[in-house]
């Protein structure tokens, strides 16, 4: 799909619309103020990456320029998720209202096979699908960033990559979170990488330590000078192939040369007068979000109350049914027929909810996929520029630090996205998701994703830009933040900061952050048949809302080092 370069460059005036500040709905905690700027904003998972994006916007770059710069910066300062060795999805909305989505998801190597993780006893070897060289899919990030820039960018690519090169070469100070996660990953990094890297040059990293990544700086400089061919055909490609050969991996030069990002049609849905724009398969996120919102439309969500029994119960029952559909129908649309239009049709969703019992939970064992009729570790950033262009981008290595393989001599981590395929019938992946035939492994195929980068408009005007990491919890996190703003009248930062819960059909349990659901409400939910478990934090939403006066409010998730910036 060819994308005209001029579309995002048109700096037209547009009407800025937001919901009136009505005060929080029943049960909502006190509002948390967020950063408010006059013209432009970047919200990302790291303060240094946010600074890089804001500098690009101040220099006259547009939202896509800033997205490219932020992505490359995150590949340096957020090594457990930011990447050039992974892939993702990007939703772009120009100031003229045109919405486009770019799929730069990883692909299975040509030597991959359907049962490659099934041993002789018929059991799935999840260690191989989640760690080491055979867990890696063919990376799409570099090709995707250059495709977006070639079509929609304005500043020279060299300007956009240079800040990441400087960060890698000069070094940066580790935050408490970075030091903790890097220390936790060191044994695996040493075990699965075939050569030493800067990450494991110390036995223990402390807060405030400066880490320099000279090999990564050199790799980024080669990409700056040679473009995407550097990653897929030249020196860096040779380093990837050499790493694969040392570790008995599958990715070859042919795999790298053959990789292409794909422009795809956005998934569009509506909720209470809003237009929701997201990504379609091979991401399940846009479809799931559309189904969840359609299931909630008939309910007076605000009247039922935030995180109250009736609200939580219906949200969970909607999630249960949507994730059952995900398991049966969704996969790479270039390889299987995914009935997107039928799945997001509100009449279909209402039929799926017809057996909803407001007094009783439906056991997941009794929930199967419907019959549509045709007619965790990831990172996200949201950007709005001064011209009204917006980007919502989610990118990932899959697990934290991906496959734990650092490409020798290149300094970057490879993904473990092969675990996102259906490894065998009924076998859960690292996130507990169960898949079906549509997502079976095949050479060159894109694995199913949960990424849900989203742009929301009202009456043709930009309203929200949002998304999150979190594996299988991504769609439900975006879903909850949307409801928090639209139905519970929270401001952006409060909506992002509020505690969350999640259900995904299997395993059959409401996973909740501590304090997400009051003890009294949890007791009632348990009595009507729900099982509740407390887990670690869910997602790290980074979001922007356009206020009624045209200013921008950021929501940077306090669950991480996320930061909003702008001018």
The CA distance from 3 to 260, in Å, is 15
Q: Count CB atoms within 10 A of the CB of residue 346.
A: 17
DSSP codes joined into one string, 82-113: --SSSEEEEEEE-TTS-EEEEEE--B--TT--
Closest CA to 566 of 34, 32, 39, 33: 39
Report the DSSP beta bridge partners of residue 462: 457
Tokens (6 digits) for 461: 């005007």
- Residue in 101, 107, 378, 476 annotated catalytic: 378
- Crossing angle for the helix pair 214-226 and 63-77, nearest 10 degrees? 150
Let me know how many helices (H) and strands (E) the chain has, helices first. Answer: 18, 19
List the beta strands (DSSP E) in 385-513.
390-398, 454-458, 461-467, 501-502, 510-512
**37 carries an active-site annotation:** no
Tokens (6 digits) for 478: 């975006």
Residue 190's alpha-carbon distances to 185, 268, 332, in angstroms, are 9, 44, 33
Tokens (6 digits) for 24: 């929080």
Tokens (6 digits) for 431: 């996130």
In degrees and rounded to multiples of 5, residue 288 shows phi and psi of -60, -45
Residue 465's alpha-carbon distances to 19, 182, 294, 456, in angstroms, are 15, 30, 20, 6
Could you tell me if 396 and 184 are in contact, meaning their C-beta atoms sit under 8 angstroms apart?
no
Closest CA to 338 of 327, 346, 329, 347: 329
DSSP codes joined into one string, 237-284: HHHHHHHHHHTT----HHHHHH---EEEPPEEEEETTEEEEE--TTBS
Could you tell me if 424 and 415 are in contact, meaning their C-beta atoms sit under 8 angstroms apart?
no
Give the chain's radius of gyration (CA, Å): 22
The CA distance from 244 to 108, in Å, is 14
Helix (H, G, I), strand (E, B) or coil at 510: strand
The CA distance from 391 to 381, in Å, is 8
Could you tell me if 405 and 391 are in contact, meaning their C-beta atoms sit under 8 angstroms apart?
no
Positions marked active-site: 378
């Amino acid at each position: 799909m060819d994308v005209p370069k001029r579309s995002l460059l048109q700096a037209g005036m547009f009407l800025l619309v937001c919901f009136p500040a009505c005060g929080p709905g029943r049960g909502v905690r006190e509002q948390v103020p967020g950063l408010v700027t006059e013209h432009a904003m970047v919200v990302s998972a790291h303060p240094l990456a946010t600074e890089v994006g804001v500098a690009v916007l101040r220099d006259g770059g547009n939202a896509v320029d800033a997205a490219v710069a932020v992505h490359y910066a995150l590949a340096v300062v957020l090594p457990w998720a930011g990447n050039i060795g992974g892939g993702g999805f990007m939703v772009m909305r120009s100031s003229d209202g045109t919405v486009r989505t770019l799929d730069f998801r990883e692909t299975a190597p040509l030597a991959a096979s359907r049962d490659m993780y099934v041993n002789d006893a018929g059991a799935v070897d999840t260690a191989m699908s989640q760690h080491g060289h055979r867990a890696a899919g063919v990376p799409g990030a570099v090709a995707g960033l250059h495709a977006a820039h070639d079509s929609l960018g304005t500043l020279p690519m060299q300007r956009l990559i240079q800040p990441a090169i400087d960060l890698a070469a000069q070094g940066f100070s580790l935050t408490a979170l970075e030091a903790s996660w890097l220390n936790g990953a060191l044994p695996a990094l040493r075990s699965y990488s075939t050569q030493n890297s800067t990450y494991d040059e110390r036995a223990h990293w402390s807060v405030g330590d400066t880490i320099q990544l000279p090999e990564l700086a050199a790799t980024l400089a080669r990409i700056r000078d040679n473009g995407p061919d550097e990653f897929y055909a030249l020196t860096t490609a040779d380093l990837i192939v050499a790493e694969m050969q040392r570790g008995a991996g599958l990715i070859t030069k042919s795999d790298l040369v053959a990789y292409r990002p794909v422009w795809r049609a956005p998934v569009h849905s509506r909720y209470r007068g809003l237009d929701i724009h997201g990504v379609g398969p091979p991401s399940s996120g846009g479809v799931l979000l559309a189904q969840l919102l359609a299931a909630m439309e008939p309910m007076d969500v605000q009247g039922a109350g935030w995180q109250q029994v009736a609200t939580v119960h219906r949200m969970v029952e909607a999630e249960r049914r949507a994730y059952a559909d995900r398991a049966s129908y969704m996969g790479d649309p270039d390889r299987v027929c995914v009935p997107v239009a039928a799945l997001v049709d509100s009449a279909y969703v209402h039929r799926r909810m017809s057996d909803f019992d407001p007094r009783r939970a439906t056991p997941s064992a009794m929930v199967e996929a419907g019959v549509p009729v045709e007619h965790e570790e990831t990172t996200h950033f949201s950007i709005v520029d001064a011209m009204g262009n917006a980007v919502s981008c989610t990118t990932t290595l899959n697990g934290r630090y991906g496959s734990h393989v650092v490409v020798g001599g290149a300094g970057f981590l490879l993904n473990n996205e092969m675990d996102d395929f259906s490894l065998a019938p009924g076998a859960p992946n690292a996130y507990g998701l169960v898949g079906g035939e549509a997502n079976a492994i095949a050479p060159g195929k894109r694995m199913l994703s949960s990424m849900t980068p989203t742009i929301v408009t009202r009456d043709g005007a930009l309203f929200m830009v949002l998304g999150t990491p979190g594996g299988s919890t991504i769609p439900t996190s975006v879903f909850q933040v949307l409801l928090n703003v639209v139905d519970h009248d929270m401001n952006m930062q409060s909506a992002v900061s509020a505690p969350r819960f999640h259900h995904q059909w299997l395993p059959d349990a409401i996973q909740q952050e501590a304090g997400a659901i009051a003890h009294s409400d949890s007791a009632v939910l348990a009595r009507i048949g729900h099982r509740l478990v407390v887990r670690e934090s869910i997602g790290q939403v980074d979001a922007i809302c356009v206020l009624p006066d045209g200013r921008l409010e950021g929501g940077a998730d306090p669950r991480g080092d996320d930061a909003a910036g702008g001018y």
